[in-house]
Amino acid sequence: MARRNKQQEEKKIYEGHLYKPLTLEKIEMIHEASLKIFEEIGISIRYAPARDLWRKAGAIVDDITGVCRIGREVVQHCIKTAPSEFIQYGRVLKNNVYQGPNKFYGGPTCEAISVWDIETGEHRAPNIYDLAEATRLCDALENCDLMQSSCYPQELSSELPDLNRYFIMTKNSSKHICTGPYKPESVPKLYKMANIILGKEDAFREKPFITLVCGVISPFIMDEKWTETLMLGVEHGFPIASPTASTAGSTCPGTLAAQLVLSNVEALMTIITVQLQKPGHPCFYSAVPMTIDHRDGAFCFASVEGWMQNSAMNQLSQYHNIPNYTECGDSDAKIMDAQFGFEIGMGLTLGAMSGSNNMHGSIGLLEGGLTLCLESYVTSNEVLGMTKRILQGIEVDEDRIALDVFKEVGIGGVFLDHPHTTKYSRSEFFYPQIADRKSFASWDMAGRTNINDKAKKMALDIIHSHKPDPIDTDAEAEIRAKFPEILPDAGKTRYEK
C-alpha cells in the first residue's frame, strides 16, 4: 500500500457543545438589548469610509462625533450574510482549519512583553529568536492548530514590526497565522509577501493562510487605524477577526449580563462593517471579555467569570451561526506552578466544551498574557490533548460493548492480553507525554523528575530537531530584496545565529 503523504493528511475535527452557561431565553434577552443599543445609542466609527458604508445601509450618521445608529433589520441581514463555515488555510493541507459550528481549534496568545529564558531562567525582554523558537515549537505541538505572534521582539522599532513578525512566523510554521499588523499600510505589503511565498500573483486570494486580527475599543468604538486595517484586509482577501476585550466594571457596567450585551454589540459591529463592505467575506464573531479583581484593580486573564463569559460568547456566536474568536487558557501565574496548572486546566476545558472555534490563548502565556514561557506551551499542549479527548466522547457500538468478549473470557477472567483490548488500547485512551503516572518508588528511582524539567527538555528537543515546512529559497530571497526592513536574522532561533 502506498504511504500517505503527511502534508496531505487533514486534521481530525473535534466539536464542543457540552457546556452552555446561557439558556435560549437569556441569549435572546442579550441580543434584544444589543439591537436596542444599535438603534437608540449607536456606536462610534472613527474611520470615514466605514461610516459611509453604514450610511449607505440606512444608518443615521453624525460625522462630527462618528456616532452611527442603525436599524435591527440591517444588523440581522449582516448576521445572515456572514458565512457560517470557511477554511483557515495552512501553507500545507494538513494544517487547514475547517471553521464551522462547534468546531474546536486553538493556538497561542500574542505579544508577550517578557520571556522566561528557557536556557538561563532569566526574566527578560523578548527578541526575534524567542519569536522564532515559540513559533517553531507551536508548529510541532500536535494540539496547536493555529499560530499567533507569541511575543513582541525588542529589536523591532515602531517603524518595522509587521513584516518581520509575519516573516518569522511563516519561516517557522506552515500553520494558519492569526495576527494583526500595527500599521494599516503594512496590509498591501503583507499581501505581496504572502503571494511570493505561495509562488503566484494573487494566489493568496485563493488560499489565505493569514487571518488579520484587528480590534475595537470598549465601549462601542471602532478606532480609525484598526478600522482602516480591517477594511484593507477585506479588500486584500484576509479573513478578519476584530476582538473586543472589555473588562467588567471598568470599560463596561459591572455585571456579567451587561458585559455580554456590550461584547455582543462590539462583535457584531465588526461583522456589520465587513459584510457591508463585502457580503459573504469570512470573519469571526470576536470577543475576549475579561474581568478585574475589585480588591486591588488587577486585570484578570484567568478568572472563573472570564471563562464563563468567553464560553457564553461561544454560545452567542452559535446563536448567530458565525464562527467565534474567544479566549481561554492563559494564566495569571508568574511561573509554572499549581496556580498555572489549575487555571489552564479549567480554562481550556470550559473553552473547548463550549465550542470555541478559534481559542486565542489555548497555548497560553503567564502573568495575564505578559510573559512567554516555552515550558508552559508544552504543558498547555498536553492539557489540550486531554480536552480534545473529552470532546471525542465515548463511542458506543456493538464491537465496543464487547458482549462476545465477556462471554469468551467469563466470570473472574482477565482481559489484559485479549486481542480486543489490544485493538482499542490506542484509540480509546489519551497517553500524556510529560505527566507522570509512576508509583512513588518508581518515580524516586528515576530521579524525581518534575513536570517543569520534562517540559523544558521536550521544548528544547523540539526547537533543536523540528524542521518546519520550508519557504522556497528563491521566494525568501525575493522577499528580502523587496522588503529590506526584514532583519538579517529574522526567522532564526538563537541556535542558528
Instruction: Supply the DSSP string of 371-436, one letter for each residue.
Output: EE-HHHHHHHHHHHHHHHHHHH-----HHHHTHHHHHHH-TT---TTSHHHHHHTTTS----SSS-
- Span 387-428, pLDDT tens digits: 999 999 999 999 999 999 999 999 999 999 999 999 999 999
Is residue 6 over pLDDT 90? no
pLDDT above 90: percentage of residues in the chain: 93
44 near 67, Cβ under 8 Å?
yes
Instruction: Supply the DSSP string of 173-225, one letter for each residue.
Output: --SEEEE--SSTTHHHHHHHHHHHHHTSTTHHHHS--EEEE---BTTTEE-HH
Is residue 232 over pLDDT 80? yes
Residue 2 is predicted with a pLDDT of 40
Is residue 3 over pLDDT 50? no
39 against 159, higher pLDDT: 39
Distance CA 32, CA 28 (A): 6
Q: What is the mean pLDDT of residues 215-238?
A: 97
- Span 50-87, pLDDT tens digits: 999 999 999 999 999 999 999 999 999 999 999 999 99
Q: What is the mean pLDDT of residues 188-209?
A: 97
Residue 11 is predicted with a pLDDT of 81
By mean pLDDT, which of 11-15, 373-377, 382-386, 448-452 is the weakest?
A: 11-15
221 near 43, Cβ under 8 Å?
yes
> Which DSSP helix (H) or strand (E) runs through 346?
helix 338-353
Distance CA 139, CA 137 (A): 5
Please name which of 161, 158, 153 lies closest in space to residue 126, comparing C-alpha atoms.
Answer: 153
Q: What is the mean pLDDT of residues 108-116?
A: 94
Residue 161 is predicted with a pLDDT of 87
Residue 17 is predicted with a pLDDT of 83
Q: What is the mean pLDDT of residues 205-220?
A: 97
- Span 308-334, pLDDT tens digits: 999 999 999 999 999 999 999 899 999
Distance CA 110, CA 141 (A): 17
Give this prediction's pTM: 0.95
Mean pLDDT of the chain: 95
Reported as a pLDDT band with limits 50, 70 and 90, residue 243 is: very high
Distance CA 35, CA 30 (A): 9
Distance CA 162, CA 232 (A): 15
Distance CA 57, CA 52 (A): 9
C-alpha cell, 32: 434584544
Please name which of 421, 320, 326, 330 lies closest in space to residue 371, comparing C-alpha atoms.
Answer: 330
Distance CA 322, CA 489 (A): 40
Round the CA-based radius of gyration of the chain to a whole number and report it: 24
Residue 4 is predicted with a pLDDT of 45
Is residue 343 over pLDDT 80? yes
Residue 13 is predicted with a pLDDT of 86
249 near 322, Cβ under 8 Å?
no
115 near 128, Cβ under 8 Å?
no
Is residue 157 over pLDDT 90? no
Residue 10 is predicted with a pLDDT of 77
